[in-house]
Amino acid sequence: MMFYIQVDKSSNITNSYAGPDELAAPWIVVSGTEFAKIVPGCTWSGSEVVAPAIPTPPAPTLAQQAAALIAAGLTITSTGTPALDGLYTVASGISFGREDIGTEAQFISTFAEFTNGTTTLAWPLKTGVFVTFPSTAAFLNFVKAAGQFYAACQAVIATGAGTLPSAAVVIP
């Protein structure tokens, strides 16, 4: 089998052929190895096929970075209850995410107890491992941190400006 290419004045590969036929100029004979490298946008250096440069993707915008922070979660370090330390989900539309955090906080504010009617509340980290909040006050410390983090990210998303919040906070 024979392998051929055609190039224009700028060395762009404009045509290729593989087959038993022998072709004359303006066809250029190439090796099977070089022929296999041909993709749209290739050029010919005179001795080898040169792949097109892959453009570097643009850096994420500030708003995209803020959205990525929300998706990644919030790392909490609790000075009062180290067992609560971990990465928490704060995104919307997912189980134990922003809406569930808000629902639990509203219930506590209204009834001064957890929705489960006990004095403690099991809540999952982003990994799925559950931690136990020992009091409504401890949970509200988490709610405050999560709310402030989420709101700061949303402000950056809405405006495309500002400062990204830290994805790690210390609570009492």
* The pLDDT of residue 62: 98
Cα–Cα distance for residue pair 144/10, rounded to 1 Å: 62
CB 4 within 8 A of CB 20: no
Q: What are the structure tokens assigned to 35, written together? A: 């022929």
Q: What is the pLDDT of residues 74-121, one digit of tens each?
A: 999 999 999 999 999 999 999 999 999 999 999 999 999 999 999 999
pLDDT reading at 28 higher than 90? yes
Q: Tell me how far apart the 2 most distant CA atoms of the chain are, in Å.
A: 89
Average pLDDT of 36-65?
A: 95
Q: Detail the DSSP E strand segments found in the chain.
A: 2-7, 13-19, 28-30, 43-44, 49-50, 74-78, 86-88, 121-124, 130-133, 168-171
* The pLDDT of residue 82: 98
pLDDT confidence tier of residue 21, bands split at 50, 70 and 90: confident
* The pLDDT of residue 15: 95
Q: What are the structure tokens assigned to 154, written together? A: 């949303």
Q: Where are the domains of the chain?
A: 2-50, 62-171
**Mean pLDDT, the chain, whole residue set:** 96
* The pLDDT of residue 142: 98
* The pLDDT of residue 126: 96
Q: What is the pLDDT of residues 52-65, one digit of tens each?
A: 998 999 999 999 99
Of 39, 143, 153, 162, nearest to 99 (Cα)? 143
